[in-house]
Structure formats: C-alpha cells, structure tokens
C-alpha cells in the first residue's frame, strides 16, 4: 500500500480510509474518518516491543486502537483464507 492505494477499514459504526507514506526511515499512516473527527497520523515506534503512536503526540488512545485495526487488516490480506 502506498499513498496512491488507500484502504478502507470498517469497525462497527466507524470506517476510515488509510494511506501509507514514507518520510525518511519512518512509515506514517494517515487516517481519514467517516465520523468527521480530525484526520490522524500514526506510526509504529519501539524496537523490541513496537507500539502505535500518533504524530504529533496527543492522540495515543486512538493511535493504539486504529493501529491495531490496520495490523489486523494487513494480516488478513497477507494470508487470505
């Protein structure tokens, strides 16, 4: 996935469109939501135990929640049943 190939993820009553971007060594995901909340930029941080964080910081709870949804989606498309 790159910025030209957005993916759409639905989770209960929220859906969001996600694009992946590379800035130097970092992989940043930009999320645009169906419920009109402000867009969110997230990335994985931490070497031994990676975790999702917002860029800029301040929306950590959302970053962790929606980052997990992205991980789940990517696992599904990498290993279809």
The pLDDT mean for the chain works out to 89
Decide if pLDDT at 4 tops 70: no
Alpha-carbon gap, residue 16 to 19, rounded angstroms: 10
pLDDT score at 37:
92
Decide if pLDDT at 19 tops 60: yes
36 three-state secondary structure? coil
pLDDT tens for each residue of 55-65: 999 999 999 99
Decide if pLDDT at 12 tops 90: no
- Is pTM beyond 0.95? Reply is no
In the chain the first and final C-alpha atoms are separated, in Å, by 20
């Amino acid at each position: 996935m790159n910025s030209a190939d957005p993916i759409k993820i639905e989770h209960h009553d929220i859906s969001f469109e996600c694009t992946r971007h590379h800035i130097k060594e970092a992989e940043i995901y930009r999320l645009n939501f169906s419920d009109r909340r402000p867009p969110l930029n997230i990335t994985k941080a931490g070497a031994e135990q990676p975790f999702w964080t917002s860029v800029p910081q301040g929306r950590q709870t959302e970053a962790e929640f929606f980052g997990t949804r992205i991980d789940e989606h990517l696992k599904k498309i990498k290993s279809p049943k």
